[in-house]
């Protein structure tokens, strides 16, 4: 009888250990570095603004996966509308025209576990050098 209770207790302990949650991996945060600050900034970017950005995107190892520079055309999008990755929607708020930033974007604010094949693998941390060329602000009603 004692052996049965002891065996039951061991099975319960083993089941508890097997089902114990794995420790959660520490979430990496968006890192924003200002490379060129604008002293006389009359307008700062905010949600809803149409931004014209030059950028170069690399993986952590320095492999370039995209750049607007060779095309000679800045990327144009509405900030905060989901037209770009979350790391951009968050990391470009409060920028001035002519300002340059370096964004280090963790996977959950980039392309996640699926990546953007063939150039961006799943789980990739992205590094962007960005230059805000122009802000177009819609007039408020």
Polymer length of the chain: 141
Helices and strands (H and E) in the chain: how many: 2, 6
Percent of the chain with pLDDT strictly greater than 70:
79
In a domain, residue 1? The reply is: no
In a domain, residue 55? The reply is: yes
Q: For the whole model, what pTM was predicted?
A: 0.79
pLDDT at residue 98 tops 90 = yes
* CATH code at position 129: 3.10.50.40
Q: Count up the domains in the chain and report the number.
A: 1
Given a contact cutoff of 8 angstroms between Cβ atoms, the answer to whether 12 and 83 are in contact is no
What is the end-to-end Cα distance of the chain in Å, rounded? 81
Determine whether 77 is an active site residue: no
pLDDT at residue 38 tops 80 = yes
In a domain, residue 9? The reply is: no
Among residues 77, 105, 128, 135, the one annotated as catalytic is: 128
Determine whether 66 is an active site residue: yes
Q: Give pLDDT, residue 50.
A: 98
Among residues 49, 77, 85, 89, the one annotated as catalytic is: 85
Could you list the residue range(s) of the whole structural domain that residue 104 is in? Answer: 29-136
Q: Which residues pair with 96 in a beta bridge?
A: 44
- The phi and psi torsions of 9 (rounded to 5 degrees) equal -65, -40
Q: Report which of 119, 74, 72 is spatially closest to residue 92, judged by C-alpha positions.
A: 74
CA–CA separation, 28 vs 57, rounded Å? 18
Query: Across residues 86-103, what is the average pLDDT?
Result: 98
In a domain, residue 17? The reply is: no
pLDDT at residue 2 tops 60 = no
In a domain, residue 141? The reply is: no
Determine whether 55 is an active site residue: yes
CA–CA separation, 124 vs 66, rounded Å? 14
Among residues 55, 89, 105, 135, the one annotated as catalytic is: 55
Instruction: Using the Cα atoms of residue 62, residue 64, residue 65 and residue 69 in order, give the sign of their dihedral.
Output: positive
In a domain, residue 8? The reply is: no
Percent of the chain with pLDDT strictly greater than 90:
77
Determine whether 49 is an active site residue: no
Among residues 38, 66, 93, 108, the one annotated as catalytic is: 66
Plot region of 62 (φ>0 → left; ψ -120 to 50 → alpha; else → beta): left
Among residues 32, 77, 111, 120, the one annotated as catalytic is: 111
Determine whether 111 is an active site residue: yes
């Amino acid at each position: 009888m004692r052996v049965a209770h002891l065996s039951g207790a061991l099975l319960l302990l083993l089941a508890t250990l097997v089902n114990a949650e794995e420790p959660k991996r520490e979430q990496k945060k968006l890192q924003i570095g200002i490379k060129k600050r604008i002293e006389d900034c009359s307008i700062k970017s905010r949600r809803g603004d149409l931004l014209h950005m030059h950028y170069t995107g690399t993986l952590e190892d320095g492999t370039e996966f995209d750049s607007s520079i060779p095309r000679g055309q800045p990327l144009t999008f509405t900030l905060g509308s989901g037209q770009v990755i979350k790391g951009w929607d968050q990391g470009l708020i409060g920028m001035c025209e002519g300002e340059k930033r370096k964004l280090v974007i963790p996977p959950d604010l980039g392309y996640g576990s699926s990546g953007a094949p063939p150039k961006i693998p799943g789980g990739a941390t992205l590094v962007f050098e960005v230059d805000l060329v122009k802000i177009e602000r819609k007039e408020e009603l």
